[in-house]
Amino acid sequence: MKVSLQTTENSMYRAARPSVNFKRAWSEHVSWGANYIKETGKTNFKLYSFPDAKAVFVEIADKAVVGLDNIKNRVVQTVAALTGGLAIKTILPKDDKSKIYEMKNSGDGIFEAEGIDAKPDDKYRYVIVTADNNINIVKDPYSKKQENINGWSSIYNKDSYHWVNTDWIEGKDARRIVRKPYEEYRGLAGLLIDEINIPTLSQEGTFDAAKGKIDEIAELGLATAIELLPLENTYSLQWGYDGVDKFAVNEKMGGADKLKELIDYAHGKGLNVIIDMVPNHMGTDGDYLTQTGPYEKGSGMFGGEFNYERPNNRYVRDWMANAALMWAKEFNADGLRLDMTKLCGSDYLLRQIVTELNEHAPNVFLIAEDGRDNKESVTRYENNYVNHEDSLKFIDTQVDFITNLGWHSTPVNIGFDSEWDFKFMHTMKNALINSSPSLLDDLDDRIKQSGHRVKYVMSHDEIGNEDGTRLIPKILSSQLFIFGKVDGKNDAEKGQKAAHAAQKLAELVVSEDFWDMSYSEFEKYQRAAGLNTTIPKMDLLNAFKTAFAKHKLGIGTVMTVPGPKMFFQGDEKADLSYFKFFREFSDEKEKRAKSDDYKNSIIEQKGYDTLEKIARPDCIIGRVQPKGIFSNLSKQMESFYIDLKNIYENNDVLKKGHIMATYKDMCHNVHIHHLGYDGKNELLIIKNFGHGFHMKNYGYEGFPNGDWKEIFNSDAIEYGGSGFINDMHPFIFRNNQNLYLAPNSFLILQKIVP
């Protein structure tokens, strides 16, 4: 019987659905993996493996037993039976240092063992006898403590941490941002995110050491939320997106309890915490999923891709949905951000995560990094009054149709609360780095259409995925056309060399040596940086000042468009440290010992060595300390941001307002947007993306009625500007605008309410 994919969700699962063994109660979600029961002192184990596996065993070893670093380093003994051919009958431990228990086959690939004598921190692994009589020895895909990605899993007591800031968890702290689906911005209007990477916040790279940065963010009032780049377990400290243990927190940062402590600490400081998770791929190091069960459908550009819509997909989808529930419920995250959702290969998986969170953690908001041209269905909210159970049955049914009949469908509504605004980001980035003839048209469209989406200039991706350099060096490179001043065998190599030359020049400008350098010293430095010609000192100085002004202009544009906003760690101080892609594999030493080919291939691709011990030190926040003529740079940027944040806090028009009108001055590259809120409060934001300095003569035809006053000017001296501000004019109105408007600056004018 064929069912139209245009029918409503309710009618669809009523019309046709296969029989579904539905049991998604909360007890089901938390039953997977190793569950220590403190009342009994015993542990239950539950694994999804191959539905046709002959047998599955769990092996337990005391935490004190030596030689457990590698999951394969202790053999198991087999007892075979002759039944029309040699077959494995059972599995025995190597010696008396471990015990092996056969797990009950509950059907559909589910294997369970209950009441096992195992305590927290004991080690365990699964031994799977496959249909073709192979023995697979694997770690737990639900492992919550994984000290070595190639090693045994450890039993984790999820109740070992005792939360302090319970008022926050219970919703009694007004600073907590909660999901409100009926509001225009879903309750996220006041969301100002500082995106941070724990390993680069400090030399130590740990949760404990990160508290100092949390203190700084809270004391300065720079953000209402922090977003933690993924903490999923890997071999090393790294940038976050190569995790292979989706439920286990990276032990090198401190592990699960220390992360809970950090989240609790941030809540105590009034900061919401967003956990970044990766549902679209596995890292390439330490992936045992293909040996564990039908979790993956194959390999993609980033690693293993998950089996969300192929045979035996149900418990794979549940596995990832349970990861989201864990971050929300066990770690008390206030929001989740899902990495590159369009690459998950299943919008129904995404819809399932949304459905489960809305049922079990309804106050937790969900943000997608989708990248499908702001596809409306990603964040559309529709209250169709379908209950939790029926919604999940609908999802199961549709995925079954796709799996069994080869139909291609996608839900009409996924239901995320927000998403990263790729269009806004690309437009802003291009406006600041590579101005184009369509600059103002593109910017105008993005400002008017961003709405509930998260606005930002650059994230970790635009820095770490490219060349590791931040916005200021990127602008500097463009301003000085450094691409044409370096040598290389192709454009890719020249691009990398130009980026790193610009980084070195930026670090030179803010050094105490720059101004007193002789011509020969200055020329020698540029040659060492990779330039094949010399840039005059004043040209470099002026280009850096322009880059700094554009940096402020980008942040100012983000901050003056209503809805959620984000900046990257250190942007609030114009930090010049790199943020490189860095990681170390478990077999890194062996690869490098054989030859330099592996290392050289990385350097050719990225322009630098990605090894943690080499790349991470370059990325530590505050590594570059401005001195000399720019000794006040960080303080100037900090003052800029604090004053702008205070205006943001005291004007709901910047959070919940709407665009009343926009204006484009193509001749001068000036864009203006007019904001209103509650019929009274109005702001006018005038942004100059051009090089012209308009002095008491700039006006535009669409200037609104009423009297206005300047409340912010990015060109003020205290922000490192030239000091041409308009606060000396008590009234600014349509026929007497007389505005100072510096290049690459912006003004905020507030309407004076009688």
pLDDT in tens, 621-674: 999 999 999 999 999 999 999 999 999 999 999 999 999 999 998 888 999 999
**Eight-state DSSP code of residue 486:** B
In angstroms, rounded to a whole number, what is the distance separating the alpha carbons of residues 659 and 642? 24
Do 111 and 248 belong to one domain?
Answer: no
In angstroms, rounded to a whole number, what is the distance separating the alpha carbons of residues 366 and 387? 19
In angstroms, rounded to a whole number, what is the distance separating the alpha carbons of residues 302 and 304? 7
Bridge partners (DSSP) of residue 101 are 58
Q: What is the pLDDT of residues 301-355, one digit of tens each?
A: 889 999 999 999 999 999 999 999 999 999 999 999 999 999 999 999 999 999 9
Q: How confident is the model at residue 434 (pLDDT cuts 50, 70, 90)?
A: confident
Q: Answer yes or no: is pLDDT of 387 > 70.
A: yes
Q: How confident is the model at residue 20 (pLDDT cuts 50, 70, 90)?
A: very low
Residue 333 lies in a domain: yes
Q: At what angle do helices 537-559 and 633-649 cross, to 10 degrees?
A: 20
Residue 321 lies in a domain: yes
Instruction: Among 131, 154, 177, identify where a domain stops.
Output: 154
Do 197 and 147 belong to one domain?
Answer: no
Q: How confident is the model at residue 22 (pLDDT cuts 50, 70, 90)?
A: low
Q: What is the mean pLDDT of residues 463-470?
A: 93
Do 188 and 82 belong to one domain?
Answer: no
Nearest 5°: the CA angle 580, 582, 584 is: 170
Q: Distances from the Cα of 633 to the Cαs of 401, 574, 640, 712, in angstroms?
A: 59, 8, 11, 19
Write down the pLDDT at residue 324. 98
Lowest model confidence (mean pLDDT) among 10-14, 96-100, 278-282: 10-14
| Pair of tokens at residue 122 | 């004991």
Residue 404 lies in a domain: yes
Residue 573 lies in a domain: no
Q: Distances from the Cα of 96 to the Cαs of 77, 122, 123, 152, 242, in angstroms?
A: 12, 15, 14, 17, 37
Residues 6+ apart with CB under 8 A from 560: 654, 673, 675, 683, 685, 746, 748
Write down the pLDDT at residue 7. 32
If DSSP states are collapsed to H, E and C, what string results for 4-35? CCCCCHHHHHHHCCCCCCCCCCHHHHCCCEEE
In angstroms, rounded to a whole number, what is the distance separating the alpha carbons of residues 419 and 453? 5
SS3 716: coil
Q: What is the pLDDT of residues 699-747, one digit of tens each?
A: 777 789 888 999 999 999 999 999 887 876 667 888 777 788 999 999 9
Q: What is the mean pLDDT of residues 420-428?
A: 95
Do 314 and 347 belong to one domain?
Answer: yes
Residue whose entry in the numeric block shows the structure tokens 């609790």: 264
Do 192 and 103 belong to one domain?
Answer: no
Do 142 and 216 belong to one domain?
Answer: no
Q: What is the pLDDT of residues 204-242, one digit of tens each?
A: 999 999 999 999 999 989 899 999 999 999 999 999 999
Do 142 and 278 belong to one domain?
Answer: no
In angstroms, rounded to a whole number, what is the distance separating the alpha carbons of residues 650 and 263? 27
Q: Which domain holds residue 707?
A: 651-751
Do 57 and 203 belong to one domain?
Answer: no
CATH number of the domain residue 269 falls in: 3.20.20.80
Residue 5 lies in a domain: no
**Eight-state DSSP code of residue 103:** P
Bridge partners (DSSP) of residue 688 are 670, 745
In angstroms, rounded to a whole number, what is the distance separating the alpha carbons of residues 394 and 509? 60
Bridge partners (DSSP) of residue 294 are none
Q: Distances from the Cα of 45 to the Cαs of 31, 48, 351, in angstroms?
A: 8, 10, 28
Do 123 and 82 belong to one domain?
Answer: yes
Q: In Å, how far from its chain's centre is CA 703?
A: 39
Instruction: List phi, psi (to 5°) of 221.
Output: 65, 35
Write down the pLDDT at residue 8. 36
Write down the pLDDT at residue 474. 97
Q: In Å, how far from its chain's centre is CA 619?
A: 17
Residue 531 lies in a domain: no
Measured from the Cβ of residue 23, the count of other Cβ atoms closer than 10 Å reads 9
Write down the pLDDT at residue 21. 53
Do 177 and 88 belong to one domain?
Answer: no
Residue 745 lies in a domain: yes
In angstroms, rounded to a whole number, what is the distance separating the alpha carbons of residues 475 and 464? 16
Q: Answer yes or no: is pLDDT of 166 > 70.
A: yes
Work out the percent of the chain whose per-residue pLDDT is above 90.
Answer: 77
Q: What is the mean pLDDT of residues 471-487?
A: 96
Work out the percent of the chain whose per-residue pLDDT is above 70.
Answer: 95
| Pair of tokens at residue 282 | 């596995």
| Pair of tokens at residue 421 | 């605004």
In the chain, how long is the greatest CA-to-CA distance? 99
Bridge partners (DSSP) of residue 336 are 275, 366
Decide if 504 contacts 475 (C-beta within 8 A).
no
Query: What average pLDDT is seen over the chain?
Result: 91
Count of CA atoms in the C-beta half-sphere (13 A) of 239: 22
Q: How confident is the model at residue 15 (pLDDT cuts 50, 70, 90)?
A: very low
Decide if 100 contacts 76 (C-beta within 8 A).
yes
Instruction: Among 382, 399, 420, identify where a domain stops.
Output: 420
Decide if 540 contacts 424 (C-beta within 8 A).
no
In angstroms, rounded to a whole number, what is the distance separating the alpha carbons of residues 368 and 384? 21
Residue 483 lies in a domain: no
Parallel, antiparallel or unpaired: strands 104-107 and 33-37: unpaired
Do 209 and 98 belong to one domain?
Answer: no
Do 416 and 291 belong to one domain?
Answer: yes
Please name which of 458, 462, 547, 459 lies closest in space to residue 507, comparing C-alpha atoms.
547
Parallel, antiparallel or unpaired: strands 745-751 and 135-138: unpaired
Instruction: Among 388, 420, 452, identify where a domain stops.
Output: 420
The total number of structural domains that make up the chain: 3
In angstroms, rounded to a whole number, what is the distance separating the alpha carbons of residues 318 and 28? 10
Q: What is the pLDDT of residues 24-83, one digit of tens each?
A: 889 999 999 999 999 999 999 999 999 999 999 999 998 888 778 899 888 888 888 766
| Pair of tokens at residue 619 | 């990325």
Q: What is the mean pLDDT of residues 116-124?
A: 96
Parallel, antiparallel or unpaired: strands 745-751 and 708-713: antiparallel
